[in-house]
């Protein structure tokens, strides 16, 4: 057992000492998760409104209404708001002139003119919905201002009118509309955080991809005579095979654990039950390590093996739902995706993250991953033993 652990430790050290892994294994996955979450995550759809004309009571009243509707409101100059609209960094821009602010403070009574606000909608797909939120907020402010004006015109002092309206709003509950989405896809992704979906997808993609490309180290060890020298020591061929398998498992587990921990700390990703998530990760890492052993034992050219690893890793990841959620696949492709280990791991993570699933809920996925791992380990061990015999 000591020899097996020593061999696994050597493989892990070689992996960590490779400077190219610093970027592609530890930095690039988090950058990709950040990019995907920023563009397509649930939080990316938060309504954003920029207001030009801060400091006026009209701007503050509109801001209060919008923030109550969970809209992100910022104040900036007119030129800055226009730049944000053109760049797509805000959905709707409000331009409140000094004259409009004065009309609002005067109750819209000067010269009989109401306060006018310029509203510009951005070109984003969700800007139309945000525009409706802005219209609702402005109408609400307008109604309250009209109520206040009616009370003051009836002879009630402004302070008492404000108190009366505040007391009335507390006693009366505003009508609420509950929107129920009957779309199965919308219900499936409901409750996911901005980075939750992308984190699970990229975790599976990079663990499997790094494992397959890491098969080149096994080929290099055979070509450079490292394995024959290792077998010259008091190490059996079985221990050598076990050490190689455990080493590749450790590599996959280190990267997967790093991604899980990094996304949880940096992006607040909710992985659900940590114990169950780690169990799914461990089984998927075993499948990845076994697949790497198969490639490293069958092929003799490390450059070709690297190309095959990258190609197979990307194709299987795409088919298994690591690039586009499989819920969006056509029915036929959704069925075909179950030939990949990625799909079963994806479904297990989805059950844990979205539905707070327990061990019983993910037993089918765990069983399939375990069966894949055993089959590939047996095949990889057999092929590696043959390659070791050839190298001797």
Is the pTM for the entire model greater than 0.85?
no
CA distance 345 to 340: 9
Q: What per-residue confidence (pLDDT) applies to 379? A: 92
Going 193 to 344 to 28 to 251, the CA torsion angle's sign is positive
Mean pLDDT computed over every residue of the chain: 82
What is the percent of the chain where pLDDT is above 90? 30
pLDDT band at 366 (very low <50, low <70, confident <90, very high): very high
Task: Name the more confident of 184 and 49.
Answer: 49
Digit-coded pLDDT (tens) for 334-353:
999 999 999 999 999 999 99
Residue 117's φ and ψ, nearest 5 degrees, are: -120, 130
Q: What is the pLDDT of residues 26-59, one digit of tens each?
A: 889 999 888 887 766 544 456 789 999 777 888 8
pLDDT tens for 289-348 read: 999 989 888 888 878 888 888 899 999 999 999 999 999 899 999 999 999 999 999 999
Model confidence at 180, pLDDT cuts 50, 70, 90, reads low
* 46-164, CATH topology level: abc type-2 transporter like fold (3.40.1710)
Local structure of 48: helix, strand or coil: strand
Element (H, E) at 93: strand 92-95
Backbone angles phi, psi at 113, to 5 degrees: -105, 130
343 or 186, which is more confident: 343
pLDDT, position 317: 94
Task: Report the pLDDT value the prediction gives residue 110, as an integer from 0 to 100.
Answer: 43
Q: Kindly report, as residue ranges, where domains of CATH 3.40.1710.10 are found in the chain.
A: 46-164
């Amino acid at each position: 057992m000591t020899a097996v652990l020593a061999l696994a430790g050597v493989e892990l050290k070689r992996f960590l000492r490779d400077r190219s892994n610093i970027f592609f294994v530890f930095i690039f996955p988090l950058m990709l998760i950040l990019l995907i979450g920023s563009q397509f995550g649930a939080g990316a759809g938060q309504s954003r409104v920029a207001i030009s004309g801060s400091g006026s009571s009209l701007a503050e009243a509109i801001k209060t209404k919008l923030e109550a509707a969970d809209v992100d409101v910022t104040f900036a100059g007119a030129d800055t708001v226009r730049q944000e609209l053109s760049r797509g960094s805000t959905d709707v821009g409000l331009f409140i002139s000094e004259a409009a602010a004065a009309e609002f403070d005067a109750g819209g009574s000067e010269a009989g003119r109401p306060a006018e606000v310029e509203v510009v909608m951005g070109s984003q797909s969700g800007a139309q919905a945000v525009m409706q939120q802005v219209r609702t907020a402005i109408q609400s402010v307008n109604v309250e201002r009209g109520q206040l004006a009616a009370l003051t015109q009836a002879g009630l002092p402004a302070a008492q009118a404000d108190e009366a309206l505040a007391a009335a709003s507390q006693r009366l509950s505003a009508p609420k509309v509950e929107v129920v989405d009957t779309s199965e896809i919308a219900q499936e992704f409901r409750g996911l955080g901005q980075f939750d979906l992308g984190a699970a997808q990229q975790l599976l993609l990079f663990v499997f991809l790094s494992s397959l490309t890491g098969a080149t180290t096994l080929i290099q060890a055979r070509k450079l005579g490292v394995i024959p020298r290792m077998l010259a020591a008091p190490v059996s061929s079985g221990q050598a095979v076990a050490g190689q398998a455990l080493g590749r498992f450790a590599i996959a587990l280190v990267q997967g654990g790093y991604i899980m921990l990094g996304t949880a700390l940096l992006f607040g990703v909710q992985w659900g039950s940590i114990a169950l998530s780690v169990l799914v990760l461990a089984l998927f890492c075993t499948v990845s390590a076994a697949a790497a052993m198969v490639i490293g034992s069958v092929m003799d050219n490390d450059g070709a093996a690297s190309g095959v690893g990258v190609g197979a890793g990307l194709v299987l990841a795409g088919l298994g739902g690591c690039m586009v959620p499989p819920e969006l696949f056509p029915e036929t492709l959704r069925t075909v995706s179950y030939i990949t280990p990625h799909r079963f791991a994806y479904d297990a993570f989805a059950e844990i993250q979205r539905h707070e699933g327990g061990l019983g809920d993910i037993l089918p996925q765990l069983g399939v991953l375990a069966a894949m791992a055993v089959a590939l380990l047996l095949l990889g061990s057999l092929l590696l033993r043959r390659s070791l015999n050839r190298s001797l």
